[in-house]
Amino acid sequence: MRHLFWRIYASYLVVVILATVAVGWLAVSFARDFYTDRIADDLRVRASLVREEVTALVTSGELRGIEPLIQRMGAASDTRITLIGAGARGRAAGEVIADSDRLPEDMVNHSDRPEYRAAVGGGVGRAVRRSQTLGVEMMYVAVPLEAGGEVVAVVRTATPLTAVDAALSHLYRSIFAGAAVVALVAALLGWCVSRHIARPVRQMREGAERFAAGDLSHKVLPSSTVEFAAVAESMNRMAAELDDKLRTLTRERNRREAVLESMVEGVLAVDPQGRVIAVNTAVARLLGVAADDVVGASIEEVVRNPELQGVVRAVLEGEQPVEADLTVEVGGEERYLQAHGSLLQAEDGAVAGAVIVVNDVTRLRRLEAVRRDFVANVSHELKTPVTSIKGFAETLADGAIDDPVTARRFLRIIAGQADRLNAIVEDLLSLSSLERAGDGREVVVQETRLADVLTVAAEVCGIKAEAKRITIEVECPDDLVAEIDPPLVEQAMVNLLDNAIKYSSEGTTVTVSVTQTTDETVIAVSDQGVGIAREHLPRLFERFYRVDKARSRDLGGTGLGLSIVKHIAQVHGGTVSVESVVGRGSTFRLHLPRR
């Protein structure tokens, strides 16, 4: 096997040849600069000689003899000579006084010429440009003509650069011909060398591409060159080791991700700078973020909650685990979280970040609140009739029983309060039964004509409606059917109609209507009563919630009727809704899905 050095050496030889051409090119450039400098020096000398000849004529004002003199000197030296005024002796600045090749009156003002401006400033001006008068590239050199300590005119000499170009063109052709030969030789050598070098390089590149694509079982063929053969062997060995490590990492990652994704708790990991390095689906859902979009972002960008940010900082800055109760708002909903944070340790013992485990305890908190409210409300609702019964019973025991009229009135009150206790107990038992049905016990649904159920409910409430001269109208087609539990839906309708009658004025109308779509059946109960303020609507279906507590008790309500309606809808897989305007009435809707 041949060494790579000898092949590289040939490429270096080509580089040397090309460098020689570059040096030749620089030599030509320096030669041009040398020639132009020589011409500039020659023009400066000629301008100085002309200045000596015309100084006396300019200072004496004898300008008529200047032009013939300049023409003769220009012809004798094969140089264009121009005398330009400098703004003194009655001549405007830049005005051409005399020129060896053109009439002064045919020439434009030269005050903008760079060589003129330099000479007027007291120096020697030099410029190379294309002459507007002669149409060829010229070199200009200008010297000041001074009299009395001031510049009164400028003498400018000029010569075409065609002679320089002609002298250099031959040199250019020689250099270019040599460069072409060298380039041709370099191309042939490069082609030969590249053909030998490119083959193993191409094979290794293809192998590297297959490695990058994940095909780590591919083997790079060894080259005939020692160095390339060693590289190929190293690549194959690296691919084998990398394949083994990737398989191990993949197994570990899959296990870790499976554990994280199966966790109900949310897991959030950050690095020491507070940038997110890992999240699971549970924490992304709890915080209302996209798991794929937050990795690499700072905790302040991901979490807008100062309390959780404080937990992360406390874990990173301390050495002990941190526990905290948090309240976050996601999508307009308030959630209660428990956060447990601890440090992540690297293999060398350094802090690698922090991991925060978040538990959603919103449901538990709400259940606790519901339990507390339920106990308080039940106690309050039961205490009133119990207290009343106890008080009237004690009054009867203290002697009121001897007065038949008073005794009968007190006994009627006691019986009424007992009926109220019985109603509360029955409603609580109904709620308990409905909750058991919602916990997995299926209700017995059957295809039922809704008109029959609604008519029965209206008849049940008819006596109360007639007492207040309220009309109940049922608007339901006779052939409209739905899959429901008839007794439960009848109970829900009775509760809604009972409420509508209680809170409607005398002589009004309560309407029961049914609409059906492809997805659901909606039963609406509308009244023309007092209406309900907007702030009460979200809590209207809670147990024992009353808009006007005193009036509700006076009307005989238990505070559980609407809660029973909600649970009846839920055991059917539906929902309830309400719309109300104070002073105009309310509409309660029971939404039952079609099966």
Same domain (yes/no): 541, 451: yes
Q: Is 438 exposed, middle or buried (0-12, 13-18, 19+ CB in 10 A)?
A: middle
The verdict on residue 495 lying in a domain is yes
The verdict on residue 171 lying in a domain is no
Least confident of 81-85, 356-360, 395-399, 472-476: 395-399
Q: Do 31 and 171 contact (CB within 8 A), yes or no?
A: yes
- The domain of 148 spans 4-160
Least confident of 96-110, 380-394, 420-434: 420-434
Same domain (yes/no): 278, 297: yes
pLDDT for the residue numbered 554: 47
Longest dimension (CA), the chain: 163
Taking the CA of residue 359 as centre, how many other CA atoms within 13 Å lie in the half-sphere pointing to its CB? Answer: 10
pLDDT for the residue numbered 195: 63
Q: How confident is the model at residue 551 (pLDDT cuts 50, 70, 90)?
A: very low
pLDDT for the residue numbered 249: 80
pLDDT for the residue numbered 384: 59
Same domain (yes/no): 487, 414: no
Question: What's the whole-number mean pLDDT along residues 142-158?
Answer: 86
Q: Do 460 and 529 contact (CB within 8 A), yes or no?
A: no
Q: What sign results for the dihedral spanned by CA atoms 569, 573, 574, 576? A: positive
Q: How confident is the model at residue 553 (pLDDT cuts 50, 70, 90)?
A: very low
Q: Token match 């907007």: residue?
A: 534
Beta strands in 403-469 (DSSP E): 446-449
Mean pLDDT of the chain: 76
- Per-residue model confidence as pLDDT tens digits over 490-549: 888 888 888 888 888 888 999 999 998 888 889 999 988 888 887 777 777 776 666 655
Same domain (yes/no): 35, 141: yes
For Cα atoms 377, 328, 271, give the angle at the middle one, nearest 5 degrees: 150
Number of structural domains found in the chain:
4
Report how far apart the first and last C-alpha atoms of the chain are (Å, whole number): 82
Q: Is 299 exposed, middle or buried (0-12, 13-18, 19+ CB in 10 A)?
A: buried
Among the candidates 393, 415, 438, a domain finishes at: 438
Q: How confident is the model at residue 392 (pLDDT cuts 50, 70, 90)?
A: low
Does residue 257 carry a pLDDT above 80? no
Does residue 430 carry a pLDDT above 80? no
pLDDT for the residue numbered 552: 46
Q: How confident is the model at residue 487 (pLDDT cuts 50, 70, 90)?
A: confident
Q: What is the DSSP letter of 224?
A: S
Token pair listed for 260: 């994280």
Q: In Å, how far are 80, 105, 116, 130, 146 from 98, measured between CA atoms?
A: 11, 9, 15, 20, 17
Same domain (yes/no): 384, 470: no
Same domain (yes/no): 293, 312: yes
The neighbouring-strand residues paired with 342 are 355
Q: How confident is the model at residue 196 (pLDDT cuts 50, 70, 90)?
A: low
Same domain (yes/no): 409, 335: no
Q: In Å, how far are 143, 145, 274, 513 from 151, measured between CA atoms?
A: 10, 6, 76, 112
SS3 89: coil
- Per-residue model confidence as pLDDT tens digits over 16-35: 667 767 767 777 777 777 87
CA distance 2 to 149: 81
Q: What is the DSSP letter of 298?
A: B
Beta strands in 369-460 (DSSP E): 446-449
- Per-residue model confidence as pLDDT tens digits over 53-67: 888 787 777 777 788
Same domain (yes/no): 500, 417: no
Does residue 480 carry a pLDDT above 60? yes
- Residue 129's CB is within 10 A of a number of other CB atoms, namely 12
Among the candidates 95, 128, 160, a domain finishes at: 160
Token pair listed for 372: 């507390």
pLDDT for the residue numbered 572: 79
The neighbouring-strand residues paired with 591 are 522, 575
Same domain (yes/no): 370, 428: yes
Q: How confident is the model at residue 550 (pLDDT cuts 50, 70, 90)?
A: very low
CATH number (domain holding residue 48): 3.30.450.20
CATH number (domain holding residue 544): 3.30.565.10
- Per-residue model confidence as pLDDT tens digits over 266-295: 777 888 887 887 777 777 777 777 766 777
Token pair listed for 498: 């009972």
Question: What's the whole-number mean pLDDT along residues 557-578?
Answer: 77
What are the residues whose beta carbons fall under 8 Å from the beta carbon of 424, sequence distance 6 or more?
A: 378, 381, 382, 385, 558, 560
Same domain (yes/no): 424, 472: no
Better pLDDT: 95 or 382? 95
The verdict on residue 61 lying in a domain is yes
CATH number (domain holding residue 385): 1.10.287.130
pLDDT for the residue numbered 380: 53
pLDDT for the residue numbered 202: 67
Q: How confident is the model at residue 556 (pLDDT cuts 50, 70, 90)?
A: very low
What are the residues whose beta carbons fall under 8 Å from the beta carbon of 47, sequence distance 6 or more?
A: 81, 141, 142, 143, 155, 156, 157
Question: What's the whole-number mean pLDDT along residues 151-161?
Answer: 86
Reduced 3-state DSSP string for 506-559? CCCEEEEEEEECCCEEEEEEECCCCCCCHHHHHHCCCCCCCCCHHHHHHCCCCC
- Per-residue model confidence as pLDDT tens digits over 290-340: 766 777 777 777 777 777 778 888 888 877 788 887 777 766 677 778 788
Provide the whole-model pTM: 0.40
Same domain (yes/no): 408, 533: no
pLDDT for the residue numbered 439: 45
The neighbouring-strand residues paired with 471 are 509
The verdict on residue 252 lying in a domain is no
What are the residues whose beta carbons fall under 8 Å from the beta carbon of 572, sequence distance 6 or more?
A: 443, 445, 484, 485, 488, 489, 592, 593
Q: How confident is the model at residue 151 (pLDDT cuts 50, 70, 90)?
A: confident
Q: Do 361 and 336 contact (CB within 8 A), yes or no?
A: yes
Question: What's the whole-number mean pLDDT along residues 189-199?
Answer: 63
Closest CA to 523 of 567, 557, 487, 574: 574
The neighbouring-strand residues paired with 128 are 139
Closest CA to 502 of 455, 557, 546, 539: 557
Same domain (yes/no): 402, 270: no
Q: What sign results for the dihedral spanned by CA atoms 317, 322, 328, 331? A: positive
Among the candidates 142, 160, 178, a domain finishes at: 160
